[in-house]
A and B are shown apart, each in its own frame.
Chain A
Amino acid sequence: MANVPALCCDGLVKRYGSVVAVDGLSLIVDRGECFGLLGPNGAGKTTTIEILEGLLEPDTGRVEVLGLTWAASERELRQRLGIQLQDTQLSDKLTVRETLRMFRAFYDEGRTVDELLALVDLGSKAESWVGKLSGGQKQRLALACALAGRPDVLFLDEPTTGLDPQSRRQLWELLRQFRADGGTILITTHYMDEAELLCDRVAIVDQGRVIALDAPKALISSLGAPRVVTHEGTLEDVFVALTGRHLRGE
């Protein structure tokens, strides 16, 4: 079992009419790894991740998740994966607790609602309507929904886009905990600092193909040129240090 990669896809192609969204993409993500998919808008990141999540069928190519195929083992896979989509709006007029209870009910095993609330630090918001949450709180709720079934693999599609620095750091902390417990993560992001901090390896995708794949540090040194990913402190760090991460009382 340990030898079976968490994710494996080979020669994925997905066309929308004359547009080729994914063009012969292959990846292997090992167990316990945090793998980043980077790339400009329209590069095919979301299409790729949705194919891996079993939500889209590739025109050609093979996908295995935890050694299983979607065609043969969809029910088992759904129980073992945690998925956060890019633009899901949860129902505004359900409370945080009600939302989690519903998602928790879909899984045979997993954390209790109270554990999930504590995990993403939303205990004080348990009885609030989802519509009243801040952007960061909503993303943490979406993450809690994805974690409801104690997944082996977590898929995150731009989980921190549009969040303020404190909220981003809170999410990173949660992802680090998930990895510390042995979980595998596939994440797409636009933020290079995020990829460098979180990911063991990243694939840079452009026009539906992988154009570079390695550990972030290796990529930086291989590029040599102007650093996209900085080791030094960033302005954002300064901002967070000055404004304080517990300032929001979240």
Chain B
Amino acid sequence: MASRARSGASSPLVELTLARLKLFAREPELVFWTFVFPILMSVAMAIAFPSGRATRVLVGVPSGVSGSSLTKALEIAEGVVVKPVPSGDELRALREGEVHLVVVPGDPPTYRYDPARDESRFARLVVDDALKRASGRVDPWTAPEDRVQVAGSRYVDWLIPGLVGMTIMGTSMWGLAFPIVQARMQHLLKRLMASPMRKSDYLMAQLLARLAFLAPELVVPLGFGVFVLGVPFNGSVFALTTVSIVGALAFGAIGLLAASRARTIEGISGLMNAMMLPMWVLSGVFFSAANFPDVAQPLIKVLPLTALVDSLRAVILDGASVASQTTELLILLAWTIVPFGLALKLFKWR
């Protein structure tokens, strides 16, 4: 260290970038949110949406009838869990999701369920099949089953690239905006402007430091997904790197724009949440954006997070090439150039 210092001046861009990286590494909270949080999310999602085995069917029966032929018929059915429900409590149990369907004994029995719920409709099919079979229904024929598991078709496989995209968005925007606003509040930006530092060096260093911690940000959650959760990685490292860098630059530029004038942490927090929240919902991180009406689709498609997440999924799950992602990459490039240009114009150093 001393020998480097003795050699006199090193490059301002290098020193500014190093300073930014050190400041990041010395904030344990930032490190936590960047690396540990996406892993915890993935684990939680993997537990909440298991996919190795059939979905459990929770069937409620009146408390008095346990041990009856009805419950026995239900219990031998695949995936069915029978739960006694006190009479008068059925609607609450259904509403809370404690049971998917309640069977009221009778001849024939009554199914009480909400057909608007997918799991309840599924439960009705399973229960109906089990009870009729127990009553002696003879099937005209039985189809032979060829059970396969397609790699990458589980929810968690679909989710992990989305979480990686969301992490890139969050850390790029926060990673740029927060330190800049803090430096402005501390009058550090003003002090730097009083030195011969070039403005472009400062802004460039923020972006470079951003890219430097992009590598662990990708490797940690993706490595966890691939090696622990068994998410397939079908793409090339080159395509993944390209898409991630372009995405990180886009969100870095958006973060820079958000931070160009903000003077308080509260101000920048509000602005960032206002920008990120719609994308968390609309861009298909947790559930497919196809759930939104068709009129909204063109708008959703041009959101930077949609472009990034779609592209990451294509690369990671389908092994898509960089060339096939031209549209998404162009959308992200536009989200880099326009906000960066605006930020340079609007940026306040004082």
Residues of A participating in the B interface, judged by any CB pair closer than 8 Å: 53-55, 75, 78-79, 81, 83, 85, 87-91, 93-94, 97-98, 101-108, 110, 112-114, 145, 149
Q: In the complex the two chains form, what is the Cα distance from A87 to B16 in whole Å?
A: 21
B191 touching A75 by the CB < 8 A rule?
Answer: no
Contact A88 B187 (CB under 8 A): yes
Question: Can you pick out 29 interface pairs between chain A and chain B where the beta carbons lie within 8 Å of each other?
Answer: A54-B194, A55-B193, A55-B194, A55-B350, A78-B194, A83-B194, A83-B195, A85-B187, A90-B186, A91-B186, A93-B23, A93-B27, A94-B23, A98-B18, A98-B19, A98-B22, A101-B15, A102-B12, A105-B11, A105-B12, A105-B15, A106-B197, A108-B196, A110-B8, A110-B9, A112-B5, A114-B5, A114-B6, A149-B196
A107 in contact with B15 (CB, 8 Å): no
Cβ of B8 and Cβ of A112 under 8 Å apart? yes
**A93→B22 CA distance, assembly (Å):** 8
Interface residues of B (CB under 8 A from A): 1-2, 4-6, 8-12, 14-16, 18-19, 22-23, 26-27, 183, 186-188, 190-191, 193-197, 350
Docked CA distance A104–B183 (Å): 19
Q: Are B9 and A87 in contact (CB under 8 A)?
A: no
From A100, which residue of chain B is reached at the shortest CB distance?
Answer: B5
B336 to chain A, nearest CB (A): 27
Query: Which residues of B sit under 8 angstroms from A78, Cβ to Cβ?
Result: 194-196
A88-B190, A90-B188, A107-B9 are contacts. A75–B2 as well, Cβ < 8 Å? no
Distance (whole angstroms) from the CB of B24 to the closest CB of chain A: 10
In Å, the complex CA distance between A112 and B7 comes to: 8
Interchain residue pairs A-B with the least CB separation, the first 10: A78-B196, A89-B186, A113-B5, A105-B15, A83-B194, A88-B191, A93-B26, A105-B12, A102-B15, A106-B197
User: What residues of A have a CB within 8 angstroms of the CB of B2 in the complex?
Assistant: 114
Q: Known: A85-B187, A89-B186, A93-B26. Contact between A112 and B6, CB under 8 A?
A: yes
Q: Are A101 and B26 in contact (CB under 8 A)?
A: no
* B10→A101 contact, CB < 8 A: yes
> Do most interface residues of chain B lie in helix, strand or loop, or is the interface mixed?
helix
Give the residues in chain A near B191, CB-CB below 8 Å: 83, 85, 88, 90, 145
Closest to B14 in A: A105
B203 to chain A, nearest CB (A): 15
Question: A55-B190, A85-B191, A98-B18 are known contacts; what are 19 more A-B pairs with Cβ within 8 Å?
Answer: A55-B194, A83-B195, A85-B187, A87-B187, A89-B186, A90-B188, A91-B188, A93-B22, A93-B27, A97-B1, A104-B8, A105-B11, A106-B196, A106-B197, A107-B9, A108-B196, A113-B5, A114-B6, A145-B191
Are the CB atoms of A91 and B187 closer together than 8 Å?
Answer: no
B195 and A106 within 8 A (CB)? yes
- Across-interface contacts of A91 in B (CB, < 8 A): 19, 23, 183, 186, 188
Residues of B within 8 A of A103 (CB): 195
B10 — which chain A residues lie within 8 A by C-beta? 101, 105
| Most chain A CB within a 10 A radius of its CB, from B9, B12, B27, B190 | B9
Determine which of B4, B9, B194 lies in contact with A85 in the assembled complex, contact meaning CB atoms within 8 Å: B194
Query: Which residues of the partner chain B approach A53 to less than 8 Å between Cβ atoms?
Result: 194
CA distance A112 to B19 in the complex (A): 18
CA distance A149 to B194 in the complex (A): 12
Chain A nearest CB: distance from B304 CB in Å?
30
Most buried by B among A90, A101, A105, A145: A105
- Given A85-B187, A87-B187, A88-B186, is A101 in contact with B5 using a C-beta cutoff of 8 Å? yes
Asked whether A79 lies within 8 Å of B27 as measured between CB atoms, the reply is no
Measured between beta carbons, the chain A residues less than 8 angstroms from B18 are 98
In the complex, which residue of chain A has the Cβ closest to the Cβ of B6? A112
The answer for the CA separation of A112 and B9 in the assembled complex, in Å, is 8
- Complex-state Cα separation, A79 to B197, whole angstroms: 9
Are B12's CB and A106's CB within 8 A?
Answer: yes
Contacting residues, chain A, for B23 (C-beta < 8 A): 91, 93-94
Min CB–CB distance B48 → chain A (angstroms): 37
A82 CB to nearest chain B CB (Å): 9
Residues of B within 8 A of A102 (CB): 12, 15-16, 19
B187 pairs with A89, CB closer than 8 A: yes
Q: Nearest chain B CB to A151's CB is how many angstroms away? A: 10
Q: How far is the CB of B328 from chain A (nearest CB, A)?
A: 37
Q: How far is the CB of A37 from chain B (nearest CB, A)?
A: 17
CB-defined contacts of B5 to chain A, threshold 8 Å: 97, 101, 112-114
Q: CA–CA, A78 to B16, complex, Å?
A: 18
Q: How far is the CB of A222 from chain B (nearest CB, A)?
A: 35
A81 to B6, CA, bound (A): 22
Inter-chain CA distance A198–B9, complex, in Å, is 32
B8 to chain A, nearest CB (A): 6
Contacts of B350 in A (CB 8 A): 55
Residues in B with CB closer than 8 Å to A85 are 187, 190-191, 194
CB neighbours (8 Å) of B1 from chain A are 97
